[in-house]
Structure 1
Amino acid sequence: GDQYFHKQNIPTDKAGRQLSNFFDLTAFEANRAEAKRLKDELKTKNIDWKKYNEDKKRKRHRVRNKWMYED
């Protein structure tokens, strides 16, 4: 059975074969590596998340209650 999969360039494990029906597994691995790199990059940017969340909350409040301040 393994020779068939190698000839057809299909993964030998069941999960790999199922996933290969939907997308290219090499592209998937590259995509996950890129996502991990971006996530790690965000951690090193020294973003003040408390301030960011407060600003977001303030903006959401302003949008939801805009009708109160309009004439």
Structure 2
Amino acid sequence: MAKSKGARIVVHLECSTCRTEDLVSKRKAGVFRYTTNKNRKNTPSKLEINKFCPNCNKHVQFKEIK
């Protein structure tokens, strides 16, 4: 029998400013993403974490995407 998925799932975090703004001062074109995991039972809502974006060259808010 197959095991259940469990409470932990892999989620992708995407830079919110790279997605909405096309800045000329970026280091490179594109959208930067982080991969992490979260517990579905403890955190049912989408994650929002401040992390460093190398494209924006500053700390910005990263939001969970599907």
TM-score (norm 1): 0.21
Q: Which has the larger radius of gyration?
A: 1
Q: Which has the higher helix share?
A: 1
Q: Which structure has the higher relative contact order (CA within 8 Å, separation 6+)?
A: 2
Q: Which has the higher strand share?
A: 2
TM-score (norm 2): 0.22
